[in-house]
Amino acid sequence: MKHSEIMRLIGLVDKLDTKHYNQLKAVIEKRDSVKFVSRLLNDDSKNISCPYCKSLQLSKWGIRNDLQRYKCKSCKRTFNTLTGTPLAHLHKKGRWLSYAECIKKGMSIRMAADKCGVNKTTSFRWRHRFLANETVIKPKVLSGIVEVNELTFAWSDKGSRTLKRKARKRGYGASKYIPSVMKVFSLFCRDRGKNTFDNVYHKFGAERIKPELLNLISKDSLFCSLDKETYLKYTRDNKVRHAILSISKGELKKKDIVHINNILIYQNKLKLWMSRFNGVATKYLDNYLSWFRAIDEFDFRIKPETILLRAKRPEEYNTNHFSKQSG
Ligand SMILES: [Zn+2]
């Protein structure tokens, strides 16, 4: 575009009525947002490797849709910074940051769709993709005093078109009165460094939790829980140091530093946060727990940019997804 044409265009801005000014403003904001997100994603590619063969020998290979493309010198394939990540092939980059803000605020799919001007199907897909890595970003080791407790959730087929059982009345909370066949359990472990591990189980017992806990809890840790048979059996069988707090004696705090207050507070915050969704489908429970864990990790101050960058970490992503993707 010639300089004179640009100056003429700028001169016309003052003559626009409110409606057309707002239209122009929306176009500029959208463009700014696309550029901002693209820059954020491109700048995060400093140590990028080939997603196909992991080679670091790459050439820059032009820019498409504002994203830098690369060509691998080993396998000759081309890709961009999103290839092989949960964000690959998603459109409307200009709205991603605003969607990440909705995730930070814990908005429902419908609310986030309205806020970002996308339909409900897109909103659902984006939430799933933006949070896909969070289900696998869990601490590998907990140490020191490790507080452990579980939560019970009522089984929910919310959103399912076909129920395999008779519909039940609403109103089951996560109480011990839920028939066992309709329960699902989540284990929570948290150390004093605020590292939190959680996992969902359809049945709960020492043998069920053992595979995770053996690797997760470092040998010199102090396992701290209520005196429930599952935990007692686990720590006894595996010779883990165990500070047992008695429910019957109301002994939630044994010594000054030996307690499970942190995990109880975490669980209460989680239940309060989840109440906005009016029940979640059991098949997505792990996703919600992971979503909350990510928010809690940043004390509820996670930046939308951080949500995007965590979502594009290919090393966290399930390789089964990646095998279906290219470019
Ligand atoms: Zn390669």
Tell me, yes or no, whether 236 lies in a domain.
yes
Report how far ligand 1's centroid is from the alpha carbon of 78 (Å).
8
Report how far ligand 1's centroid is from the alpha carbon of 80 (Å).
12
Report how far ligand 1's centroid is from the alpha carbon of 85 (Å).
16
- Report how far apart, in Å, the C-alpha atoms of 284 and of each of 131, 156, 170 are: 12, 10, 19
Residues 122 and 213 in one domain: no
Residues 111 and 207 in one domain: no
The pLDDT assigned to 322 comes to: 41
CA distance linking residue 266 with residue 297, whole number of Å:
11
Residues 130 and 175 in one domain: no
Report how far ligand 1's centroid is from the alpha carbon of 325 (Å).
14
Tell me, yes or no, whether 178 lies in a domain.
yes
Report how far ligand 1's centroid is from the alpha carbon of 73 (Å).
7
Report how far ligand 1's centroid is from the alpha carbon of 44 (Å).
19
What pTM does this model have? 0.80
Count of structural domains within the chain: 2
Tell me, yes or no, whether 140 lies in a domain.
no
Tell me, yes or no, whether 116 lies in a domain.
yes
Residues 108 and 175 in one domain: no
Tell me, yes or no, whether 311 lies in a domain.
no
Give per-residue pLDDT as tens, 206-239: 999 999 899 999 989 999 999 899 999 999 999 9
- Say yes or no to pLDDT of 256 above 70: yes
Q: What is the mean pLDDT of the chain?
A: 86
Residues 110 and 153 in one domain: no
Report how far ligand 1's centroid is from the alpha carbon of 326 (Å).
12
Report how far ligand 1's centroid is from the alpha carbon of 84 (Å).
12
CA distance linking residue 191 with residue 55, whole number of Å:
37
The pLDDT assigned to 171 comes to: 54
Q: Rounded to an integer, what is the distance from CA 171 to the centroid of its chain?
A: 28
The pLDDT assigned to 165 comes to: 56
Give per-residue pLDDT as tens, 188-213: 999 999 999 999 999 889 999 999 89
CA distance linking residue 77 with residue 156, whole number of Å:
44
Report how far ligand 1's centroid is from the alpha carbon of 94 (Å).
29
CATH assignment at residue 248? 3.30.420.10
Give per-residue pLDDT as tens, 26-35: 788 777 888 9
Report how far ligand 1's centroid is from the alpha carbon of 70 (Å).
10
Report how far ligand 1's centroid is from the alpha carbon of 139 (Å).
30
Residues forming a β-bridge with 79: 70
Residues 119 and 190 in one domain: no
Q: Rounded to an integer, what is the distance from CA 170 to the centroid of its chain?
A: 28
Report how far ligand 1's centroid is from the alpha carbon of 79 (Å).
9
Report how far ligand 1's centroid is from the alpha carbon of 64 (Å).
19
Higher-confidence position of 25 and 223: 223
Residues 129 and 187 in one domain: no
Per-residue pLDDT, averaged over 240-246, amounts to 90
Tell me, yes or no, whether 313 lies in a domain.
no
Residues 206 and 110 in one domain: no
Give per-residue pLDDT as tens, 90-130: 999 999 999 999 999 999 999 999 999 999 999 999 999 99
CA distance linking residue 156 with residue 283, whole number of Å:
8
Report how far ligand 1's centroid is from the alpha carbon of 72 (Å).
5
Domain that holds residue 57: 3-135
CA distance linking residue 271 with residue 100, whole number of Å:
22
Length of the chain: 327
Report how far ligand 1's centroid is from the alpha carbon of 60 (Å).
13
Give per-residue pLDDT as tens, 282-324: 989 999 999 999 999 998 899 999 999 999 887 665 443 443 3
Residues 124 and 150 in one domain: no
Tell me, yes or no, whether 233 lies in a domain.
yes
Report how far ligand 1's centroid is from the alpha carbon of 49 (Å).
8
